[in-house]
Amino acid sequence: MNYPNGSKQIPRSSQKLNSNETIFSNRGMTLEEDINATNDYYLDACLAVIHKKPTPVQIVKVDYPKRSAAVIKEGYFKQASTTDYNGVYRGKYVDFEAKETKNKTSFPLSNIHQHQVNHMKAVINQGGICFLIIRFAAFDETYLFQAHHLFEHWDNQFKGARKSIKYEQIRENGYFIPFAYQARVNYLSIVDQVYF
């Protein structure tokens, strides 16, 4: 791919670094921002309709110094949310959770909650597509990790196994999603490979 000025992109794996140099291709961007931009691209290109789910909030106290300057002073979450994103792609329901970790060796299962796992299992039982998108911020690597792999680790932690998923296991069982220009986290390319 060429940049708008005509210069060629050099893949990160072939870039030479001094010992004190680090590459941050999308520094300042969070995984959520990248996925939201990707979903906007999918929607504009008529590829998929996938949105971030709003978290249900109960507003308790609002100050109205004037109507145009209302300030929410107190509120609370009505209920535990399920997963971050859902929608439709190629006639199939898609549901996924997005998580970013600074951990270099593993993905802590404490980042996921029981009600989310229950929800993902229900989605799969109904024939939906369900997965995690995990970004290891330290390596600037993003993976699609199928929900059934998560379930194995989730259930095993209650039988005395690790309370995390090793980075190597995510690399081995997950699917690397390279950073791209328009679809920054082009997870549908992986969904096509795995589910269709």
Q: Single out the residue of 80, 76, 96, 97 nearest to residue 88, CA to CA.
A: 96
Annotated binding-site residues read 82, 84, 97, 116
Span 109-163, pLDDT tens digits: 999 999 999 999 999 999 999 999 999 999 999 999 999 999 999 999 999 999 9
With 0-12 CB in 10 A as exposed, 13-18 as middle and 19+ as buried, what is 70? exposed
Angle between helices 187-195 and 31-44 (to 10 degrees): 70
pTM summary value: 0.76
Domains present along the chain, CATH in parentheses: 17-54+80-195 (3.40.1350.10)
Annotated binding-site residues for Mg(2+) read 82, 84, 97, 116
Is 185 within 8 Å of 133 (Cβ atoms)? yes
Is 79 within 8 Å of 56 (Cβ atoms)? yes
